[in-house]
Every structure is written in structure tokens, then in C-alpha cells.
Amino acid sequence: MHTLDDIKDLLQSCENEDDFARLQARALETTLQHVGPEIHFRGLIEFSNVCSRDCFYCGIRKSNKKIQRYSLSQEEIVELAKWSAQEGYGSIALQSGERCDPVFVDFVIEVLRQIKSETRSELLPDGLGITLCVGEQTKETYQRFFDAGAHRYLLRIETTSPSLFAQIHPTEQHLHTRLRSLEFLKEIGYQVGTGVMIGLPGQTYEDLARDVLFFRDIDIDMIGMGPYLSHHDTPMSRYAEENNRNRLLIFRKSLAMIAATRIVCPKINIAATTALQTIDPAGRIDGLRFGANVLMPQTTPPGFRRNYLLYEGKPGLDENALETRLNLERQIESIGRYVSKNKWGDSLRFHEKHPQSPDSPSGK
Ligand code: 5AD
């Protein structure tokens, strides 16, 4: 059983070349042993940047009047989903700003139903696997999304430090409501994902080590996490200089967080996020080398990508979805791994916990 100090040590190894190389080797070995060389793709559909929240770090926060708000239509989203299925992705991630009004909730439900019914095929008898990522909702809403076909849900905790959480969110947002939401999702039967931002102002190695212990203690199924990158139209832009100065260290800390999480929770799915690639063009591939096994290539049409900037410098704004995929596949093959095709790519940890849950014939 890893202690807080063990994890702190793992994380701190990002400050020394030899220790960092050893951490990478250990994380990669653990990955290959427990989840294998396969990488699972999820076609990422950022279907709307309309948001009712005002998180101090995020570029699509409600108070940012400088961006153009968009919402894809049901037809557009379904087309992107079908494209993902044709490409062999097996799964998609549907992501948007947070809204909980009935019009939005009903819309998402209709979208889920249509995607499930229109992506069934011989290769995917149960249609695409769907990960939903639309923030905090009531338990009833989570249940309705689940019944409509979402079977995985991502809700980042951002940080488990109560003081840090309070510092980066408006007073009406609470750590305990996020925690309760994660509980609801688990009770309903979702594969549940969470994650944190790395390199927040004032965040210590101890804070990050506690985040990893939290992932273990709630027995999480999936993780998506990455560096905090400042955005100029947010209240936290006052830390921009510090954030820019420390980018290299924040990048290495993020890789160390992936590695430590893989070592502590060996059978979960861990995504190498776009934010890593923002700091270094090979960042997502580094994420895979340090223990990640999931990638979420963007399918959002280039015209809309510009308005889904949670942080500055997001890469791939002009690339189309096919180019995005081919680029990634080439890089994955160059590190001796490969991309799974036409499989949901579920969390092995989830199926280990729930051996009775109906296995999809389209593969876990
Ligand atoms: N830098 C890095 N990650 C960010 N997110 C939002 N804003 C930023 C930022 N400036 C992350 C949060 C959120 C997810 C959708 O994107 O963790 O949960």
C-alpha cells in the first residue's frame, strides 16, 4: 500500500533526470503488464461552449464575453459520432460547457439516443461507447443520461485541496458537491472518471500526492488530467507570468502524476490530454510513455475549435479530424504501441469490480 510520502517521492522525481527516467520505466512496465500496449481512442466532440459556470481558470467561463458561443445541432453531433464510428474509434466523448436547464438536458438525451441507435453495426453491435462530460447535474439527470446510453462519465475534481478548490472557484461552487456528484455517478453504475489540474498557483507536491490517494480511495475507473495553463481572459491571468515561467516543470509534474497514478491504480484508463500537447508538440505521446492508455482526438470541426479554448495555445486548431488521427497513429506506432479498433475500450478496473455487469459483445 503506497503512503503519502511514497507518492510524494514518486512525484518529486520529476526534478531529477535519473529519477525521472526510472519513474517513466516503472510506469511503462506497469502499464504494459496491467492494461497492455493498446491505446484506446475516443472521438472528442466539444459540442457547445455555452457555460453557466464561472471557474476562475477557464477560458469558456460565463463571464468571458470575448468568445463567440456556439452549440452544434443534433444532426451535426450525430454526424461527428458516425464519422468516429466509421474511423473505427469504438467510443466517443461528448463534452460541453456546464448547463442544467431542462432544454439542455432533454437535448443531450435525444442526442445520446440517436447516436446509440444510428451507430449500431456488425462491428459495433451495441453502438458507440459514450463518455459524457457535461459537469455537475442532479442524480436524476445522471440517471436519465445513463438510461439514454452514456455508460462512462468524466467529472474532474480539479483539486482535492479544499483551500485550493475555494481559491479557483466562485463561492457558489463547492468541493463537496463535486464529491457527491461522483458518488451519484458511481451508484448509478457509470464507469467514473475524474482528474485534477497540475501546476495551480500554490499547489504543492503534497496536494498532488493527496489527489492520487483520492483516486485510489474512491476506486476510480478513469483519469483525465493535465497541466494548468493560464488564459488571458480569466481572473487567474494574474498568475500568467508565473505559469509561463514554470511550464517545463509543470509539464514534467504532469507526466509524473500520470506515472504515479498508473503505479497506484494499475488497471484504470488514463488519458493523455491535449493540454500536455500544448506545452510540447510530443506531449500526448510522452503521456503514453508515462502510463496513459487513452487518447481523445478532436473531431470538433476546425471552424468551431477556436471558440473552445479553455486555455491559450491549444494545438491543432487548423487540422482536420482525419489529419489529427493519422498524426497520432503514426506517433503511437513509433513508440511500439498500437490503437485498438472498434472496441469500447472500457476501464479494466471497472470490469474487475463488476464481473457480473453485462459485457458488451462489441468488446470491453
Ligand atoms: N488549463 C488547463 N485545464 C483547464 N481546464 C479548464 N480550464 C483550464 C486551463 N486554463 C480543464 C478543467 C476542466 C476541463 C474541462 O478542462 O480541469 O474540468
Instruction: Report yes or no on 187 lying in a domain.
Output: yes
Let me know: does 349 contact 267? Beta carbons within 8 Å: yes
Instruction: Report yes or no on 359 lying in a domain.
Output: no
Ligand 1 binding site (Cβ under 6 Å of any ligand atom):
57-58, 156, 158, 197, 228-229, 231, 275, 310-311
Q: Tell me what pLDDT residue 363 has.
A: 46
- Looking up residue 95, the CATH number of its domain turns out to be 3.20.20.70
Instruction: Report yes or no on 299 lying in a domain.
Output: yes
* Chain-centre distance for alpha carbon 145: 18
Report which of residues 75 and 362 the model is more confident about: 75
Let me know: does 232 contact 218? Beta carbons within 8 Å: no
Residue 317 has pLDDT above 90, yes or no: no
Longest distance between any two alpha carbons in the chain, whole Å: 54
Digit-coded pLDDT (tens) for 74-112: 999 999 999 999 989 999 999 999 999 999 999 999 999
Identify the band that residue 318 occupies on the pLDDT scale cut at 50, 70 and 90: confident
Ligand 1: centre distance to CA 237 (Å): 14
Cα(286)–Cα(250) distance, rounded to whole angstroms?
14
Beta bridge partners of 157: none
Name which of 229, 136, 234 is nearest 185 in CA terms: 136
Residue closest by Cα to atom 18 of ligand 1: 156
- Residue ranges making up the domain that contains 157: 4-350
The three-point CA angle 74-79-81 to 5° equals 95
In the block, which residue shows the cell 500500500? 1
Give the torsion through C-alpha atoms of 80, 86, 88, 94, to 10 deg.
20
Measured over the CA atoms of residue 222, residue 270, residue 15 and residue 23, the dihedral's sign is positive
Instruction: Report yes or no on 112 lying in a domain.
Output: yes
Ligand 1 probe mutation, 51, 56, 57, 312, most atoms within 8 A of CB:
57
Residues making up the chain, counted from first to last? 364
Percent of the chain at pLDDT > 70 equals 98
Cα(226)–Cα(223) distance, rounded to whole angstroms?
10
Instruction: Report yes or no on 183 lying in a domain.
Output: yes
Let me know: does 84 contact 128? Beta carbons within 8 Å: yes
Digit-coded pLDDT (tens) for 116-146: 999 999 999 999 999 999 999 999 999 999 9
Question: Structure pTM?
Answer: 0.96
Number of domains in the chain: 1
Ligand 1 atom nearest the C-alpha of 234 is 10
Intra-chain end-to-end CA distance of the chain, in Å:
28
In the block, which residue shows the cell 468568445? 67
Instruction: Report yes or no on 362 lying in a domain.
Output: no
Identify the band that residue 362 occupies on the pLDDT scale cut at 50, 70 and 90: very low
Instruction: Report yes or no on 360 lying in a domain.
Output: no
> Helix (H, G, I), strand (E, B), or coil: what is residue 298?
strand
Identify the band that residue 315 occupies on the pLDDT scale cut at 50, 70 and 90: confident
Instruction: Report yes or no on 363 lying in a domain.
Output: no
Ligand 1 atom nearest the C-alpha of 158 is 17
Ligand 1: centre distance to CA 284 (Å): 16
Where are the alpha helices (H) located in the chain, listed in sequence order? 4-12, 17-34, 74-86, 102-118, 139-148, 162-168, 175-188, 205-217, 240-245, 247-264, 274-279, 283-289, 302-305, 321-334, 348-353
Cα(39)–Cα(338) distance, rounded to whole angstroms?
6
Ligand 1: centre distance to CA 60 (Å): 10
